[in-house]
Amino acid sequence: MWNIFIALIMIFITIYLSVKLAIRPLLNKSDVATVNDQESELIKLRDMEIISNIELEDLINFYKKEDEKRDNYIQYKKYEKILEELRNIKYLKDEEYFIKINKLKSYFNIGCK
């Protein structure tokens, strides 16, 4: 009788801890199906009938592209700094550095019209 009781308690504890460990990363995730502040403000403008649904979609797409450009530029600057450090420690020659910087600019569409 006691063996069954102890086994049930052990199973309960095992399941409880497994579920707790599985859920913990999900609880810390802050970007789960949330609309950013800018989008919510645009939606409020649409709800007040100041902008149309088409304008709302256009503006959301515009801001998403701007955010993507900003994120790309931040990444570009990070990689540019790494290449600069490699050049400063003489790992890259100047010619190699400029070739790699041009490739980086091309990849992130920096300075390209």
Does this model's pTM top 0.75? no
Beta carbons of 83 and 101 less than 8 angstroms apart: yes
pLDDT of residue 112: 57
Identify whether 65 is part of a domain: yes
Beta carbons of 75 and 109 less than 8 angstroms apart: no
User: Domain of 94?
Assistant: 52-113
> In this predicted model, what pLDDT tens digit does every residue of 41-87 receive, in sequence order?
899 999 999 999 999 999 999 999 998 899 999 999 999 999 999 99
pLDDT of residue 93: 95
Identify whether 68 is part of a domain: yes
Identify whether 104 is part of a domain: yes
Identify whether 98 is part of a domain: yes
Contacts 24+ apart (CB under 8 A), 35-39: 38/63, 39/63
State both tokens at 44: 């409020």
Identify whether 31 is part of a domain: no
Domains in the chain, number = 1
Q: Collapsing DSSP states into helix, strand and coil, what is residue 12?
A: helix
Identify whether 30 is part of a domain: no
Identify whether 23 is part of a domain: no
Identify whether 84 is part of a domain: yes
